[in-house]
Amino acid sequence: MRLSLLAFGILFLAHSVLAQSKLNYVNPLIGTSKMGHTFPGATVPFGMVQLSPDTDTIPYAVDGKYNPNVYKYCAGYQYEDPTIVGFSHTHFSGTGHSDLGDILIMPTSGKLQLNPGVSANPKGGFRSAYNHQNEIAKPNYYSVQLEDHQIKAELTTTTRVGIHKYTFSEPDSAHIILDLVSGIYNYNGKNVNTYVRVLDEFHIVGFRQTSGWAKNRTVYFAIEFSKPIKSYGYDDFQSKKVYQGFWRKFNLKADFPEMSASQLRAFFDFDLDGSKELLLKVAMSNVSMEGALLNMTTEAPNWNFDDYKKAGEDLWSQELNKYEVQMLNEGDLTNFYTAVYHTCLGPTVYQDVSGLYRGLDFSDYRNPDDQLNYSTFSLWDTYRALHPLFNLVQRKRNTDMVLSMIAHQHQSAEKMLPIWSHYANENWCMIGYHSVSVISDAYNKGLDGIDYNEALNACVQTARTRYFEGIDSYMDLGYVAEDKSGSSVSKTLEYAYDDWAIAKLAYGLKRMDIYEEFFERSEHYKNVYDPNSGFMRAKLSSGKFIDKFDALETHQAGYIEGNAWNYSLYVPHQVESMIQLMGGKKRFASHLDSLFTMQLADKYFEHTEDITREGIMGSYVHGNEPSHHVIYLFDWVERPDLTQKYIRQVLRTKYLPKIDGLSGNDDCGQMSAWYIFSSLGFYPVCPGSDDYILGSPLVQTAKIHLENGATIDITAKNQSEKSCYVKAVYLNGVKMKDFKLNFQSVKNGAKLVFEMTDKPAKTF
């Protein structure tokens, strides 16, 4: 079919308007305060550079003790803070622990200051007050007026380069502060070394070595200025060195082309000659300074700020356009497309344009041209819904992520798949070995280009690592003994699910010895069930349950970031067996419903950072991940009406289109992936299985555009605020008789129709 130029132009314009409208529904500020911990700055989808303001310099420890206030600064930005200390290039989105905040840039004017000062007296340092009325946050664009310096700051990015545009009111006294002391979750000794080399009057390069959440991390950078440097220097904020070497013959701190210290802040002065604008390009690399320069010249060869901004917006439009949804109101659209935005912030690209990346063994590796290496794997969170979502709409990316996990296992000294990894480091955060879930789900969803036998070997090696987190007692006793390893119930339950994922993969590959071993292990959850209390309960190595027990208590032995009420429902791979273990369908339905109707008192979670009141509904904790599948369990006990009722309540109360609208840590997109799936009407309760579980859609209509060109069309007839219940579901015109939606039935496109009603029904 041929189109006239006019017709083509009209179609292009319509598409552009559609894409722009979706961009306008994204609000990067949503979820930035309280538990949300997202950053509002500029980035492209899955970008290595995530350029964002940092609003304070809160230390990790005070007087040698953990400072609880630092927890709010996981992403570097707090909406309530009145000042900005600068703009750094690496951030996490929604995590409950942190690192990064690398290569902080701050433009200043007037008197040069090399100390950030404090928020109570911003003029006592280089930080600046700002006002939210003069702050703009959009996909791949951030702007703010720095009031104390009268400088307008604008930020945009490519995948590996941050582009800064500063408009000065006093162009004759323009300074750029390069703060290599600053970092997120910072403390004395975190910086191992920093280095800056001035190449010429426009270019500098350097690196920063830190030892924090990632124990051995080196970030290389290259910076180009749009105007020539007039003068430069630095100060060293570490304790005075006993040994100065023969470098003392030079005046190192003024116009000397090399700078090196563990606590280094440099400055660069400019005479803008009547011009008010100064632009910077800051390129990152995990391999070398030369790699950073190559990333810069490849991705950002000119000074056209608007072109980089527009190119990034186009990349975001491509991601947002994978979903076309109609919803009941604009607030829902903002929630939905902001959730899509959050799911594309990580994992992050960790590879230079040359294909090189630094591995865990400190060696450099080169990927083929069609493959990217990824980092930032928050797997305790993201295996649940984010990676399953990728298996629908990001299949090539998720293939590369799985390949990155397998490469991680080869490079690991422990020969284990990633647990929680970033920047070529395993930080060992949280429990389980959930890479195996991601790999098993990838196999079951037919991702190509992966050697699954090699992947299975990596899974088995990881799951047999006896010295890791109580696996020795888990293998020997059939459960993790609390006197051998803490959080024993949580570990036993999560290991059992992971072992089922390994068994599922082994069965598909016809490796029956592996299948039999790990299927047996997948039933170890039964060994921590206490029939007297009706809950999963911590056991000692003697076989005795621990004496002190309160099913509501979050702080007690046996659990991590959860209590017995929520964690006892974590058997996603054998739900029917769990129901029988707990007394059958009728008893289980009543037990499950009480989780949502009884109130959890503050005393049960007041000392747990990752659980706060706004994330709780009854005693169901939606603000943290272990419970994310729980609402869907009603489907197994012939009470889909309760699944539907509580899903709508969560969508309405735990996700709000405002600054502190998220009810918990987004944790690299997991909370947002839950929202997307649940808004569409189905959810992956057990990643690695063929089935999604039906819920209650919030959309009126939706189209999910798949990479193979097919579309999943979803319609919710009679959708309204009161009509949260599902009367019937039709798949390709045929009425469904079950609550399970099989992946095979939608992978090549499908039409899914929900008939909504305001009357609850216990069956479809």
**Phi, psi at 509, each rounded to 5°:** -90, 5
Cα angle 571, 573, 575; round to 5: 60
Domain containing 207 equals 33-317
Give per-residue pLDDT as tens, 295-314.
Answer: 999 999 999 999 999 999 99
Helix (H) or strand (E) holding 646: helix 640-653
Burial class (CB in 10 A: 0-12, 13-18, 19+), 342: buried
What is the pLDDT at residue 16?
39
Q: Is 70 exceeded by the pLDDT of residue 653? A: yes
Q: What is the rounded average pLDDT of the residues 367-377? A: 97
- CA–CA distance, 532 with 521 (Å, rounded to integer): 24
Is the separation of the CB atoms in 299 and 353 below 8 Å?
yes
pLDDT exceeding 70 applies to what percent of the chain? 97
Q: Name beta bridge partners: 691.
A: 742
Enter the DSSP assignment of 2.
-
| Residue 479 domain-assigned (yes or no) | no
The total of other beta-carbon atoms located within 10 Å of residue 738's CB is 12
Q: In what order do the strands lie in the sheet with 203-210?
A: 135-138, 141-146, 151-157, 161-168, 277-285, 217-225, 203-210, 191-198, 258-261
Burial class (CB in 10 A: 0-12, 13-18, 19+), 9: exposed
E strand map for 551-656: 616-617, 620-621
- CA–CA distance, 656 with 614 (Å, rounded to integer): 11
Taking phi over 0 as left and psi of -120 to 50 as alpha, with beta for the rest, 265 belongs to: beta
Q: Which residue has the higher pLDDT, 270 or 602?
A: 270
Average pLDDT of the chain, as a whole number = 94
Binned at pLDDT 50, 70 and 90, residue 10 comes out as very low
Q: Is 60 exceeded by the pLDDT of residue 710? A: yes
Q: What is the rounded average pLDDT of the residues 568-594? A: 98
The total of other beta-carbon atoms located within 10 Å of residue 145's CB is 18
Three-class DSSP category at 214 = coil
What is the pLDDT at residue 242?
84
Residue with tokens 């997991």: 670
Binned at pLDDT 50, 70 and 90, residue 763 comes out as confident
Considering its fold, how many domains does the chain have in total? 1
What is the pLDDT at residue 13?
33
Is the separation of the CB atoms in 507 and 515 below 8 Å?
yes
CATH number at residue 179: 2.70.98.10
Give per-residue pLDDT as tens, 232-290.
Answer: 999 999 877 788 889 889 999 999 999 999 999 999 999 998 889 999 999 999 999 99
Largest CA distance in the chain: 85
Is the separation of the CB atoms in 446 and 237 below 8 Å?
no
- CA–CA distance, 709 with 711 (Å, rounded to integer): 7
Q: Is 80 exceeded by the pLDDT of residue 37? A: no
Characterize the bridge pairing of strands 711-717 and 750-757. Answer: parallel
Residue with tokens 């290496």: 373
SS (H, E, C) 519-563: HHHCCHHHHHEECCCCEECCECCCCCECCCCCCCCCCCCCCCCCC
Q: Is 50 exceeded by the pLDDT of residue 315? A: yes
Binned at pLDDT 50, 70 and 90, residue 34 comes out as low
In angstroms and rounded to an integer, the radius of gyration of the C-alpha atoms of the chain is 26
**Least confident segment among 34-43, 136-145, 553-562:** 34-43
Is the separation of the CB atoms in 208 and 277 below 8 Å?
no
- CA–CA distance, 584 with 544 (Å, rounded to integer): 25
- CA–CA distance, 393 with 388 (Å, rounded to integer): 9
**Least confident segment among 7-11, 109-113, 518-522:** 7-11
| Residue 110 domain-assigned (yes or no) | yes
What is the pLDDT at residue 513?
98
What is the pLDDT at residue 238?
85
Q: Is 80 exceeded by the pLDDT of residue 20? A: no
* Residues 339/340/341/346 CA torsion (nearest 10 deg): 100
- Residue 37: CB partners within 8 Å, gap ≥ 6? 31, 72, 74, 75, 92, 93, 94, 95, 96, 665, 666
Residue with tokens 């400055």: 267
Is the separation of the CB atoms in 438 and 401 below 8 Å?
yes
Q: Which residue has the higher pLDDT, 121 or 8?
A: 121
Give per-residue pLDDT as tens, 149-196.
Answer: 999 999 999 999 999 999 999 888 999 999 999 999 999 999 999 999
| Residue 649 domain-assigned (yes or no) | no
| Residue 216 domain-assigned (yes or no) | yes
Residue at 326: amino acid letter: Q
| Residue 410 domain-assigned (yes or no) | no
Q: What is the rounded average pLDDT of the residues 688-704? A: 98
Q: Is 80 exceeded by the pLDDT of residue 223? A: yes
Is the separation of the CB atoms in 147 and 157 below 8 Å?
no
- CA–CA distance, 126 with 124 (Å, rounded to integer): 7
SS (H, E, C) 176-211: EEEECCCCCCECCCCEEEEEEEECCCCEEEEEEEEC
Six-digit token string for 757: 């009603």
How far is Cα of residue 489 from the mean position of the Cα atoms in its chain? 26
Q: Is 80 exceeded by the pLDDT of residue 31? A: no
Taking phi over 0 as left and psi of -120 to 50 as alpha, with beta for the rest, 583 belongs to: left
Six-digit token string for 672: 């947002």
Taking phi over 0 as left and psi of -120 to 50 as alpha, with beta for the rest, 428 belongs to: left
Q: Which own/partner pairs from 113-116 qualify as long-range (CB within 8 Å, at least 24 positions apart)?
A: 114/177, 114/234, 114/235, 114/265, 114/267, 116/57, 116/85, 116/86, 116/179, 116/182
Enter the DSSP assignment of 569.
T
| Residue 350 domain-assigned (yes or no) | no
Q: Is 90 exceeded by the pLDDT of residue 2? A: no
| Residue 728 domain-assigned (yes or no) | no
What is the pLDDT at residue 35?
53
| Residue 442 domain-assigned (yes or no) | no
- CA–CA distance, 726 with 724 (Å, rounded to integer): 7
Is the separation of the CB atoms in 697 and 322 below 8 Å?
no
- Residue 166: CB partners within 8 Å, gap ≥ 6? 107, 151, 152, 153, 154, 174, 277, 278, 279, 280
Cα angle 366, 372, 376; round to 5: 110
Binned at pLDDT 50, 70 and 90, residue 140 comes out as very high
pTM: 0.96
Give per-residue pLDDT as tens, 448-490.
Answer: 999 999 999 999 999 999 999 999 999 999 999 999 999 999 9
